[in-house]
């Protein structure tokens, strides 16, 4: 599954952000040149609204999804949008492209408000999401989204738990949620990196 790469080799390939000149700007992706290398980054409609014109400088938060046959880089205009993306792809039946389609349906605040309110109809309107998956998004993510600021904003709960972080990392590497739970049940370690390394060894 790892194509001969060691566990740390795969983990080291994660790209957290890209900063550079916008070379291409399309409806569903942009190309950003960084130190002479052009990175094709898939983006939501919401993020695209904040990407400047070709020739201007931009910075995107990113998440690298690795499959057996491809590596895909996804970009976000804010850390909160990336955090919501990671939560979405952790839901069974929601892949990276479907998660990006969800993010195209509104701001992070609007979408997390919809989750908190149990508005499954909003997610059923997204191509690729049926009633069952929409309800699963609500059930699995409602507890991970919390309100409580004076402006009535909804913020994504972030966890410092190593297993939670490791789980998100394994989701990004292409593992299914059920498979991740089984691998992490067998893994020991105090840091996300240790847990991911053991999970990758067990997956061979």
Mean pLDDT of the chain: 82
Among 29, 58, 76, give the residue marking a domain's end. Answer: 76
* Residue 14 located in a structural domain: yes
Other Cβ atoms closer than 10 A to 66: 18
* Residue 51 located in a structural domain: yes
The answer on 93 and 138 residing in a single domain is: yes
Q: What is the CATH number of the domain that holds 146?
A: 1.10.150.20
Q: What is the CATH number of the domain that holds 191?
A: 1.10.8
Task: Give residue-wise pLDDT tens across range 82-125.
Answer: 999 999 998 988 999 999 999 999 999 999 999 988 898 999 99
What is the pLDDT confidence band of residue 73, given thresholds at 50, 70 and 90?
very high
pLDDT at 152: 42
pLDDT at 14: 61
Strand partners, 32: 22, 39
Tokens 């990276």 locate to 96
Tokens 């880089």 locate to 73
The answer on 118 and 104 residing in a single domain is: yes
The answer on 35 and 90 residing in a single domain is: no
24: containing domain: 7-76
* Residue 183 located in a structural domain: yes
**188: which 2 tokens?**
């020991």
Among 76, 106, 130, give the residue marking a domain's end. Answer: 76
Give the number of domains in the chain.
Answer: 3
Contact 8, 197 (CB under 8 A): yes
The answer on 100 and 142 residing in a single domain is: yes
The answer on 85 and 25 residing in a single domain is: no
The answer on 42 and 104 residing in a single domain is: no
The answer on 84 and 68 residing in a single domain is: no
| Phi and psi angles of residue 174, each rounded to the nearest 5 degrees, phi first | 100, 5
Instruction: Choose among 112, 110, 98: nearest CA to 141.
Output: 112
What predicted TM-score, i.e. pTM, was given to this entire model? Answer: 0.69
| Phi and psi angles of residue 179, each rounded to the nearest 5 degrees, phi first | -65, -40
* Residue 2 located in a structural domain: no
* Residue 101 located in a structural domain: yes
Q: What is the CATH number of the domain that holds 44?
A: 2.40.50.140
């Amino acid at each position: 599954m790892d194509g001969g790469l060691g566990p740390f080799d795969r983990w080291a390939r994660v790209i957290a952000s890209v900063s550079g000149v916008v070379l291409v700007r399309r409806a569903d992706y942009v190309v950003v040149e960084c130190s002479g290398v052009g990175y094709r980054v898939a983006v939501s409609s919401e993020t695209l609204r904040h990407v400047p014109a070709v020739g201007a400088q931009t910075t995107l938060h990113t998440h690298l999804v690795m499959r057996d046959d491809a590596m895909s880089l996804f970009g976000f205009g804010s850390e909160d949008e990336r955090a919501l993306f990671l939560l979405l792809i952790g839901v069974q039946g929601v892949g990276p492209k479907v998660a990006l389609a969800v993010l195209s349906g509104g701001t992070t605040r609007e979408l997390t408000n919809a989750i908190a309110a149990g508005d499954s109809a909003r997610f059923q309107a997204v191509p690729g999401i049926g009633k069952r998956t929409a309800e699963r998004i609500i059930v699995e993510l409602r507890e991970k989204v919390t309100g409580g600021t004076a402006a009535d904003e909804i913020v994504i709960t972030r966890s410092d738990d190593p297993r939670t972080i490791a789980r998100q990392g394994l989701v990004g590497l292409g593992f299914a949620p059920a498979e991740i739970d089984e691998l992490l049940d067998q893994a020991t370690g105090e840091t996300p990196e240790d847990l991911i390394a053991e999970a990758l060894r067990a997956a061979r």
